[in-house]
Amino acid sequence: MSLTQTLEELKQQFIAHSPLEVQAEMFRLIREQQESGIQYGVQEGQKAKDFMLKNSMGLPVYLYDELVKGPVVLTFYRGGWCPYCNSQLRAYQKVLPEIEALGARLIAVSPQSPDNTLSHQEKENLQFQVLSDTNGLVAAFYNILYDVPPYIQELMTNLFNMNLTEYNATDRWILPIPSTFMIDESGIIRSAYVNPDFMKRLAPEDILDELRKL
């Protein structure tokens, strides 16, 4: 089953098993972001901003140091608690040998704490860099950070017993718009996928197609 099919199945399961009021609030978030008029994400042709984040082992990773080795596929996801994110990362793991065969590296970034990043990486057996952006500074650099609205905070707290400030080890309810950027060795963003609909992600085959163009 492709990633697109898996995500659609997850969406249909959500619709089938979630109360209507929960569905309404989740789709409200997507709709408000889509209709906000905000152009999320840095654009193709722009220079990617360098950053340093720590990986799950607490070691610093610099984007530009990775670019010296080849192109980088930089993907931002919401966290290990998100089933859509987990399906995405598992699908990317499956094509990691092909990504690396094309001379590229895959880096995934989320706002979750280093401890949660480590446990998530171990659980999913991810063999690429998974970095912690706990305060959302890098997501803000890439213009994809947003404050989780109060109605979603309430939903996550009461229904899912989920407190993002604890999970992310920060004092703000923040998340990134799920995004994937292809960055060439010179630091130029060659393609950008930014979608406020968190139930959709860039397909692995599209990543490989974009890398072959570099």
1-25: average pLDDT: 96
Q: Do residues 48 and 74 touch, judged by C-beta distance below 8 A? A: yes
User: pTM of this prediction?
Assistant: 0.96
pLDDT tens readout for residues 175-189: 999 999 999 999 999
Question: What is the structure's pLDDT at 174?
Answer: 97
Question: What is the structure's pLDDT at 159?
Answer: 81
Banded model confidence at residue 56, pLDDT cuts 50, 70, 90: confident
132: tokens are 């912690």
Percent of the chain at pLDDT exceeding 90? 91
**CA 210 – CA 213 distance, rounded (Å):** 5
Q: Do residues 71 and 103 touch, judged by C-beta distance below 8 A? A: yes
pLDDT tens readout for residues 57-89: 899 999 999 999 999 999 999 999 999 999 999
pLDDT tens readout for residues 106-162: 999 999 998 888 889 988 899 999 999 999 999 999 999 999 999 999 999 988 899
